[in-house]
Structure 1
Amino acid sequence: MTSFVQVTSSAPSNNNNNKINPRQKRSSILSPLPEDSDEEEPQAPKPPTLDDFIPTGQKIFLTEEDDCFGDDNGNGQEVCSEEITLNGLNGDCFIEDEFLEGEFVSDDSSVQSTDDDYDTDLEVNEEEWLHPSKNDYHDTTGKKKYMKVCSDMGIHPVSYIVNNLEQKELKLRFHGLDQLSIKAISIPLETNTNVEILNLQGNGIDPLGARCLCRVLRENLFLTEVVLSENKIGTEGAIALCQFLKGNRNLIKVDLTDNEIGDSAGQSFYEVLKGNKSLKELLLCNNHFEENAATWFRDGLSENDTLEVIDLGWNPWKTRGAVCLAEGLAENVGLRRVRFVMAGLGKLGAQALMDALLHNRTLQELDISYNRIPVEGANCIASGLKTNDTLKILKIGNNPFDADGAMVILEAVESNETCAINLLDFSNIMVKIEFKKIQDRLMTERNMKITNEGVLPDTQTDPETFAKLTAFRKDPIEAFKRHVYNCGVNLCDVFNVDNDLKLSVVDFKDLIKGAGIDIQGPYFSFLMRVLEENGNVNYWRLFDKNANDEVMETGKPGKPSVTIKIVEEPRPKGKKSAKDRSDSAKSTKKKKSKDKTKKK
């Protein structure tokens, strides 16, 4: 290793022979001389001489054993190492600070140099470069941060969260996360760059948890979809979320379904609709919005032109609020899918929707099921469909306009040659035979799909049949029981009420037919819609007086805890029970057999 004696002065001699060649410019006083170059470099300014610092005739040179420091010819001035100190030559000369910057100076004339003295910041740790996920400052998933936060809070980390922070979707549905867990997961999500879809459905998140998630919405620029349905965010939490949603530029979908959001949050959502230009889908179904919020949503929908999907169903809007929403839809120019299920439109709301169908040119799907739309309202909807050429899907089932209203709407669709509808849903609505004819024609010519409850036969010539079918459809089980009683049959004699046996539809039909219960096709179809489940007939529901209420509340029938037997009332004269008929049939067979034996 080459060693040098440190020189504390860089001023050369005034002698022309001792001038330092500009090509010998060094970056540091300890650096060796650079190699000569044939290229001519520009002349540097004349440096100061040593005459200003030391007496004339003093020889100065830099020694490396017998070498000297000077010009190209080897001329130079000798300087003894004993005469050189840190502060100058014999204490009379000082070195500029810029020459000592970054250099190690020792009083010992024998300076030892090692490889560590030549480290630069260009050198990097290959392990950190090749595996950035192992280092905290390159941890794009936030795993280490999550583990540390859980340790600081004294809670157990969720292994599912740790294993899925690298995935595109973090699905934490119904995990029972409390406030501390929500806070713990919010901190790593602020810097996470992998998760794009965050699903926290059904975790009981309260307003405090919603505030923790506000930091995620503010800091994280990679999330595109957030699902917070079936929580307890409430009005306060929704207002806090809206403060960040109105300025967010990366979220595309936000789901706040069933979160107990009150009417006073309407203004906050108006600001979101007005200020956010990136949000495409907003789901606010099954909350507590009323008329006041409806006015804010009307103004927000009128000013927004980027939102494509909105769900405002199952909120207590009432008729006035529903009318406001329909007015906002008429002025909107961006929505493509709208769900107003159970919004309370009624007749006035249907009239406002007529204007929306006439003027809106972007709407492609509209769901207005369960909206108490009467026949007059169906006429208004039909008027709007006569000229509409953008709507593709219309769901208008479970409304009280029945066959007449369905017929008017279908005729309007048929008369519109530019109509784009490919799906018409008339669920739970009986239709006429004429409706069926038009339906078949549209399905053939336009490849249109139309659903309904069924066709009423001969409704024009036989109004009594229409009335009976309508009454039977309202409560098929009770109507069937009355029909069984009129036939003189006891259901306890037909079915085994003590054991829960599975019967197919064919077996059930053969069983009641063999017992003398005659039921025609349409009535039997209505009855099977209520009794059939997974391909089997739950006949025991015929003995449960609360069966219909349970189906309406839960959607699935439950087996009764107590079997209720039907007490047979006095029958009209001339009618016998099934047991009497069977006994009489047995006696007649015995008599016939006795007569044959006597003849023989």
Structure 2
Amino acid sequence: PSTVMKEKPAWENSETDLEAEDNEKFFTTGQRELYLEACKLLNVVPVSYFIRNMEEPYMNLNHHGLGPKGTKAIAIALVSNTTIIKLELEDNCIMEEGVLSLVEMLQENYYLQELNISDNDLGLEGAKIISEFLQRNASSLWKLKLSGEPWEGNLSFHCFHNQFSDQGGEQLGQMLALNVGLKSLDLSWNHFHIRGAVALCNGLRANVTLKTLDLSMNGFGNEGALALGEVLRLSNCLVFLDVSGNDINNDGASKLSRGLEYNESLRVLKLSLNPITMDGATLLVMSIKKNPKSRLEELDISNVLVTEQFTKMLDGVYAVHPQLDVLYKAVQGLEEKKALFLCKNPMKLIQSYADKNHISILDFFKSLNPTGAMQMTVGEFRKTLLQQSEVPVNHSQIRELVRKLQEKPGMVNLRSARATAAPGPGQVTPPSLLLWFLT
């Protein structure tokens, strides 16, 4: 996992490696004994995977059927654990009692940074416990996932979620207004509607640290979109916002666009699976054009069917904001030959240019970054590719390059170009690369 590794206290750094290793082994053994004793007292079966991986930074206990008591036993063992920094507890039916145990543990454990407790029937009381805990800022936690998961039945669509509802939204809104440690929050697949949406947004307006927020598959509607528009207008903290599947139509898109005219921080906005038409998409795109300080790099309206006229208007927006990429469904009336050209493999074009100029593909990508660094933000990479003239590429082709070179969200690694490059004369093409060129 992409996590920040813990720093050793000064007293540990002063020890020899051998002494530190012996202490860690002794300490881990004590944790095992503590966990087994807790399981015995709580009358639950110990989880062998947990015992075997106590010294690893990533602990995945998803779908283990822990229940409230099993979670409490885990929490008791984690109080003194200094190794685990990412904990997955999705779908364990931990309920209110389990949440309380985890919160008590987090008040003592300052090493755990990421926690996933999705799909656990937390309910309103669970939301209150989490909210009150996070308002105190009493842990090192910076990423919290509270989403639910969809399940497709034979007759209807069901959602196994945390059932926070609007009251839970109010509790979490209060938390967001006061918390100054949380950077990432996933609240997808919950029952937030207008009241809960507005309460959450009120908290967001006062929050100064949250950068990533997933609100997908809720019921914000146009009123929630209005509140979110105000958040975007007043706040310059959020970098990633997902409101896919929230019953937002053109009216809601208009309200969001008012915030986009002023926002200077947002880089990714996902609005797919909403009943937005090309008219709403036009309002969103034009609001970005009006904002000279917009840093938006991706606007996802991938279910909206647009015309070729829309794409021409989009070219004008790209001229102002070359870092931007708008994902839409399709283009009506686009000629077949033109569509084929737009899909031409971009790496083949770059390889052809490199061969003619007797350079490597990596040399070409290095020339894109004047600083010489091997990493670039997606926005800078897209902007530089569009502005260079050696290998003309369009947004579809750049999107494909980003997909191949993206090492982590928002960043591309230019060294990855070596793996996607075509072999030189006399070299053999590996099967994986052959598949890449064929597609």
Question: How far 1:407 sits from its partner (Å)?
Answer: 0.9
The normalised TM-score by structure 1 is: 0.46
Report what 2:273 is aligned to.
Answer: 398
Residues 1:203 and 2:64 aligned together = yes
Report what 1:371 is aligned to.
Answer: 246
2:140 pairs, out of 268, 278, 292, with 278
2:180 pairs, out of 290, 301, 305, with 305
Report what 2:121 is aligned to.
Answer: 260
* DSSP-derived class of the 2:284 partner: helix
Amino acid in structure 1 at the alignment position of 2:328: N
Query: What are the superposed Cα offsets for residues 375-406 of structure 1, whole Å, 9 maximum, x if unpaired?
Result: 11110000000011110001011111211111
Q: Which has the higher strand share?
A: 2
Amino acid in structure 2 at the alignment position of 1:372: D
1:454 pairs, out of 326, 330, 341, with 330
* DSSP-derived class of the 2:175 partner: helix
Call closer, same or farther: CA 1:244–1:145 in 2, change over 3 Å: closer
Query: What are the superposed Cα offsets for residues 64-109 of structure 1, whole Å, 9 maximum, x if unpaired?
Result: xxxxxxxxxxxxxxxxxxxxxxxxxxxxxxxxxxxxxxxxxxxxxx
Q: Which runs of 5+ in 2 are unaligned?
A: 1-15, 149-161, 335-439
Report what 2:25 is aligned to.
Answer: 139
Q: How many residues align?
A: 302
Residues 1:181 and 2:57 aligned together = no
Call closer, same or farther: CA 1:240–1:141 in 2, change over 3 Å: closer
Call closer, same or farther: CA 1:451–1:195 in 2, change over 3 Å: same
CA contact (8 A) 1:146 1:185 kept: no
**Higher RCO (CA-CA < 8 Å; seq separation 6+):** 2
Question: How far 1:239 sits from its partner (Å)?
Answer: 2.5
Residues 1:238 and 2:124 aligned together = no
Question: How far 1:140 sits from its partner (Å)?
Answer: 4.0
Call closer, same or farther: CA 1:301–1:246 in 2, change over 3 Å: farther
Question: How far 1:354 sits from its partner (Å)?
Answer: 1.2
CA contact (8 A) 1:310 1:337 kept: yes
RMSD: 3.2
Residues 1:423 and 2:298 aligned together = yes
Question: How far 1:408 sits from its partner (Å)?
Answer: 0.5
Call closer, same or farther: CA 1:389–1:153 in 2, change over 3 Å: closer
Query: What are the superposed Cα offsets for residues 220-271 of structure 1, whole Å, 9 maximum, x if unpaired?
Result: 2333221111222122212221233245422211111122211221211112
Query: What are the superposed Cα offsets for residues 251-305 of structure 1, whole Å, 9 maximum, x if unpaired?
Result: 2111111222112212111122112252110100012111121111011000011
1:163-174 residue pairs with structure 2 within 5 A?
none
Q: Which has the higher helix share?
A: 2
Call closer, same or farther: CA 1:457–1:271 in 2, change over 3 Å: same
CA contact (8 A) 2:59 2:86 kept: yes
The normalised TM-score by structure 2 is: 0.62
User: What is the rounded CA distance, in whole Å, between the counterparts of 1:271 and 1:153 in structure 2?
Assistant: 28
Report what 2:307 is aligned to.
Answer: 432
Amino acid in structure 2 at the alignment position of 1:327: N
Amino acid in structure 2 at the alignment position of 1:251: L
Question: How far 1:432 sits from its partner (Å)?
Answer: 3.4
User: What is the rounded CA distance, in whole Å, between the counterparts of 2:280 and 2:254 in structure 1?
Assistant: 7
Residues 1:218 and 2:218 aligned together = no
Residues 1:292 and 2:167 aligned together = yes
Equivalent pairs: percent with the same residue? 27
* DSSP-derived class of the 2:311 partner: helix
CA contact (8 A) 2:225 2:253 kept: yes
User: What is the rounded CA distance, in whole Å, between the counterparts of 2:81 and 2:38 in structure 1?
Assistant: 23
Query: What are the superposed Cα offsets for residues 320-342 of structure 1, whole Å, 9 maximum, x if unpaired?
Result: 11221122111111100000001
